[in-house]
Structure 1
Amino acid sequence: MENVWDYPRPPALEPITKPIRIEFAGRIIAATEGALRVLETSHPPVYYLPRAAFTGCTLEPAPGRSFCEWKGEANYWSIWVGNRVAERAAWSYPDPTPAFAAIRDHLAVYAGAMDRCLVDDEAVTPQPGGFYGGWITRDLKGPFKGEPGTMCW
């Protein structure tokens, strides 16, 4: 069992070899055994998949940007499969800070915008709230940032 309160701040970046799969609009849109995950105090892990793993969809730039003090400026992406779209469902860091250079050319996806996101064949639960993009698996212990009353953590 991993306790998210044991994760560091600033966050850690680590490779993960467990299979990661994302399903949307009735198809597998991304799959890899070469993802990276960001571990930050109070947050479930955020999984970054290589852009090349997204073979079952079209990615289109979406409006807006955000800034992370650790990773830099993020761009957003909409995910299309046929005529179904998940607006601003993914994000990336085209020019990340040196500590997070490995996530260049990777995308993270909001699990709640997809049909299913899986880690090692386990369907994840999206991190609570509308901003954070962590994936909760049964081996994680919270409470998690994003739940009611956690905005000032």
Structure 2
Amino acid sequence: MENVWDYPRPPAFEPVSKPIRIEFAGRVIAVTDAAFRVLETSHPPVYYLPRSAFIGCTLEPVSGRSFCEWKGDAVYFNVRVGDQVAERAAWSYPDPTPPTFAAIRDHLAVYAGAMDRCFVGDEAVTPQPGGFYGGWITSDLKGPFKGGPGTMGW
């Protein structure tokens, strides 16, 4: 078991050894063996996939940004398959804070709760609680996880 309270702050990132698959609107929209995960204290990992992994959808840039003290400015995307849209469901750091997070340039993360299903290997993930953070919970993680009611001040 990985305890998310053992993850570092500032966060670290590492390559993912299992394939990642994302399904939306009844189809596979992304698949890769070349993802990274960001590990931050109290959070389940956030998975970043290369932009080239998104083959079954359209990524539509949307207005608005957010700022991460560790990774820099994030931009957001709607995920579209035909007439089905998951609004602001993906984000990216086009100019991540170097040198630590330079490897996630041209990668996107996706809110698992906005998709039909997301997989790490053969395991369907559970979205991080609360809808603000984008972590993916797998059975090998131990919490509690930041994001649910009453956890913003942790």
Q: Which runs of 5+ in 1 are unaligned?
A: none
Runs (4+) of structure 1 moved beyond 3 Å? none
Question: Are positions 1:119 and 2:133 aligned together?
Answer: no
Aligned to 1:140: 141
- 2:16 alignment partner in structure 1: 16
Which residue of 2 is the match for residue 30 of structure 1?
Answer: 30
1:1-153 map, 5 Å: 1-98=1-98, 99-153=100-154
Question: What displacement does 1:3 show?
Answer: 0.2
Q: Which runs of 5+ in 2 are unaligned?
A: none
Distance in 2, Cα, partners of 1:151 & 1:79: 27
Aligned residue identity for 2:14: E
Distance 2:53 2:108 in 1: 9
* Amino acid paired to 2:125: V
Q: What is the TM-score with the length of structure 2 in the denominator? A: 0.98
Deviations 1:92-127 (A, max 9, x none): 000000110000000000000000000011000000
Q: Is the 8 A contact 2:113 2:131 kept in 1?
A: no
Report deviation, 1:17. Answer: 2.2
Number of matched residues? 153
What is the CA deviation profile of residues 63-99 of structure 1, one whole-angstrom value per residue up to 9, with x for unaligned ones?
2100000000000000000110000000000000011
